Amino acid sequence: MKNRARIAAISLPLVGVLVGCSSLAAPSLGASTPQSHASHLGASPTVHVFRSRLYGYAVALPADWSAQPDQHWGGIGAPGPVDAFRGQPYVAAWAFTVPRPARPVVYATAITRTAAQLPCPAAPEISQAVTIGGTPARLIGMRCPARGGVLMLTALTTGGRSALVVMFEDVSGIVSAERPDRAAFRELLADIRLQA
């Protein structure tokens, strides 16, 4: 329990930098469209659509999630501004684009370790092919530190000249939340629509 409190104390400042000081009741930045969307990301069956002016994608977010575009990256090796999303108390996500890396898994691992700002495994514990809005992508995942630490999931598109990078973290340290977190992140990735 002491380790979880330390992890949360270290990780929450990064989340705070990424999502700013706004409350969870921040208004939707996109159009509201009711749909069924029950997941770990939010209990509400309604969603709202966030459209990124920075990076040309749209994503359906649960109604109780907030979106803050153009946030300052809090880690070393800043990729530039990020679109930050905040949901339940320990859960956050963010997205940004970078020039397409030659080795997506190596880049995803490095940026995940940077974002975690905690000791992370040298190699991802999860590495698998996924899609982001129907586009081929790579997903990596790890806990930082490895036992009972922050769950970090990173996915990035692997086609084209630039890559959309979507990251997710759950700082709760609750191991039993990993399966629902992974399912919810995959659902979030499937709900992204890339600019044609």
Domain residue ranges in the chain: 2-194
The pLDDT tens digits along the chain (196 residues) read: 334 333 333 333 333 333 332 222 222 222 222 233 334 444 445 789 999 999 999 999 988 899 999 898 766 566 789 999 998 788 999 999 999 999 999 999 999 999 998 999 999 999 999 999 889 999 999 999 988 899 999 999 988 889 999 999 999 999 899 999 999 899 999 999 998 6
Task: For CA atoms 177, 20, 145, 165, give the dihedral sign.
Answer: positive
Architecture of the domain made up of 2-194: 3-Layer(aba) Sandwich (3.40)
Say if pTM beats, i.e. exceeds, 0.85: no
Q: Which of 132, 131, 154, 152 is nearest to 143 (CA)?
A: 152
Provide the pairing of β-strand 47-51 with 57-62: antiparallel
